[in-house]
């Protein structure tokens, strides 16, 4: 059986158009019917990737250079580098 976007409720068509019908079907098989399905904001994901990159470049002496490169304060760079790898940062 072939499911098409036209078969979906209006509230779901935009999602299927955005990610494609095949991925939408995978999503419904895994998470369908779950009321508390949360997708992080893009900015949160970008922040975590940025922080990981900063940690990998930090050598203990280059906080000022990283602050300029990432448009952050030196204190923020140091706080990011002190935080645990898996811990969310508020910066």
CB 64 within 8 A of CB 75: no
68 shares a domain with 48: yes
Please list the alpha-helical segments (H only) found in 1-91: 10-19, 21-31, 42-57, 63-70, 74-82
In eight-state DSSP terms, residue 68 is H
8-58 pLDDT, tens digit per residue, is 999 899 999 999 999 999 999 998 888 787 888 999 999 999 999 999 999
Q: From CA 88, how far away is CA 80, in angstroms rounded? A: 9
31 shares a domain with 1: yes
11-23 pLDDT, tens digit per residue, is 899 999 999 999 9
- The structure's pTM equals 0.64
Please check whether residue 90 lies inside any domain of the structure: no
- Closest by CA to 89, choosing from 48, 60, 57, 55, is 48
Which residue segment(s) compose the domain that 51 sits in? 42-82
Please check whether residue 25 lies inside any domain of the structure: yes
Please check whether residue 89 lies inside any domain of the structure: no
Please check whether residue 7 lies inside any domain of the structure: yes
């Amino acid at each position: 059986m072939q499911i098409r976007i036209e078969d979906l409720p209006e509230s779901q068509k935009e999602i299927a158009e955005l990610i494609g019908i095949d991925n939408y079907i995978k999503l419904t098989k895994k998470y369908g019917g779950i009321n508390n399905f949360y997708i992080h904001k893009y900015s949160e994901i970008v922040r975590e990737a940025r922080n990981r990159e900063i940690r990998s470049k930090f050598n203990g002496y280059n906080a000022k250079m990283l602050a300029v490169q990432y448009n952050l304060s030196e204190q923020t760079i140091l706080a990011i580098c002190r935080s645990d790898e898996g811990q969310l940062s508020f910066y």
